[in-house]
Amino acid sequence: MNIRTLKSVAAGSVLALGLVSGAANAATADGTARATILQQVTVTNTSDLQFGTVAIGTGGGAVTIATGGGRTCATTLVCSGATTAAGFSVAGATGMNVGVTVPGSVTLTETGGATMSATLNSSAASLTLAGTAADAFSVGGTLNVGGSQAAGAYAGTFTVTVNYQ
């Protein structure tokens, strides 16, 4: 064997020895992957926001339906008929919190194209789901009736959103 071959064999042996001793110092640990899957949260409309029948008296004004369903009518209007707050029931994973989002207003339109605006408010910004009938919220609002509001039946749709928090 010549000197060059001898040096190559010696260098290869040192490299192999280094790899073996590096592997002997390695350490390992196990990690755990976890996930919690929740059933889809759902929201269902159980009653509509009903302002009742409103007649213009001495001028325009506001009709307010509280989230509990009670009505307040401006003295410039004549209000009658049944009223309700909009009701919504929520279903989802028991014990989880959900956020409730309600739009700030809704536009009501009658068949001839006349419109009115109602501001909206919710009885809850969030709920902790109990798996019971208590998993519900209501939406009230204030309808702004103009002094020369066109007669007719008005309706408008609004969308509420419920999400796990």
Segments making up each domain of the chain, as ranges: 42-164
Under CATH, which number does the domain 42-164 receive? 2.60.40
Nearest to 139 by CA among 41, 60, 64: 64
Predicted TM-score (pTM) of this structure: 0.80
pLDDT tens sequence across 90-108: 999 999 999 999 999 999 9
Q: Are strands 71-73 and 61-65 parallel, antiparallel or unpaired?
A: antiparallel
Which pLDDT does position 130 carry in this prediction? 94
Q: Which residue has the higher pLDDT, 117 or 18?
A: 117
